[in-house]
Each structure stands twice: as structure tokens, then as C-alpha cells.
Amino acid sequence: MRRTTVISVAVAVIALAGTAAAQSPTAAPPAPAATPAPAPAAAPPPPKPPATETTPANIRLIAGNCLVCHSESASAAGGMPILAGQDAKVIAAAFREFRDGKRHGTIMPRISKGYDDGVVDAVSAYLSKTK
């Protein structure tokens, strides 16, 4: 019986030693909680698109694109209205109607979405002076 008592005492000492080691101040501290990643920096505003610039070169470029379909020769073949020489207010009003969804078409409602009033007025004035 003495041998059983010695073994029981040894097991108890080992168990206590393990518990004490786990509670010891030299034990490794628990891992810190994961810190969230920092929020991404705000992106700078996008550059102003060329379609809103009313420089003479840009207006000529945009008007040239209009005249691909709306020139005298192209209109004769495709039934598009001729814009050159028309009243600027009439051109601008029609363009805004396409842009604002008040006038239906196949291409013009899509094209017109990219232009603000300043460009519409400048291109309309340019086209009205074109012969």
C-alpha cells in the first residue's frame, strides 16, 4: 500500500506543478486580438472629362463628330437632319430633349448624356455658323 500512496502523491505533485506553471506570471501572454486593416485613403476626384471643356479646339472636335452623321452629304443618304447653318437655339433644344429623355432616338439619347449645358450651347453656336 505504501507504493500506491507514493505513486498517488507523485501524480498529485505533477498535476499541481502543471497548474502552477500555467498560472505563472512568466507564462506567455495571450495573443492580441487581430487589429482591423486601416481604411483605404480616399481616392482623388476624377479629372474633368473633355466633354465638359468649352475650349475652341474641343468644341470643333465635338462639332466634327456631330457632322459625321449630320452633314449635308451624310444626311442625304441617311435621313439625318442637317445641323450646319441651323439656328443655335433649335439645335440646343433638340439636343437637350434627347439628353433629358423627352425625345426618342437610337443613338442621340446615348450620345447626349455626356455633355453639359455649356458644351451644348457652344457646339450649337459653332454648328449654326458652319456652312
CA 20 vs CA 14, 74, 114: distances in Å: 10, 94, 75
pLDDT for 11 equals: 47
Give the CA distances from residue 12 to residues 17, 20, 23, 43, 108, in Å, rounded to whole numbers and listed in that order. Answer: 9, 12, 17, 64, 90
Is residue 6 scored above 50 in pLDDT? no
Whole-prediction pTM: 0.59
| Closest alpha carbon to 61 in 122, 128, 131 | 122
Q: How far apart are CA 56 and CA 75, in angstroms?
A: 25
Helices (H), the chain: 2-23, 56-70, 72-78, 88-99, 108-112, 117-129
Q: What is residue 85's predicted lDDT score, i.e. its pLDDT?
A: 92
Q: What is the mean pLDDT of residues 68-89?
A: 84
The span from the CA of 21 to the CA of 29, in Å, is: 13
Domain spanning 52-129, CATH architecture: Orthogonal Bundle (1.10)
DSSP notation for 51-81 = GG---HHHHHHHHHHHHHHHSHHHHHHH-PP
DSSP 8-class letter at 36: P
- What is the pLDDT confidence band of residue 92, given thresholds at 50, 70 and 90? very high
pLDDT exceeds 80 at position 79: no
Q: Is the pLDDT of residue 103 over 50?
A: yes
Question: Mean pLDDT over residues 17-25, rounded?
Answer: 52
Instruction: Give yes or no for residue 55 having a pLDDT over 70.
Output: yes
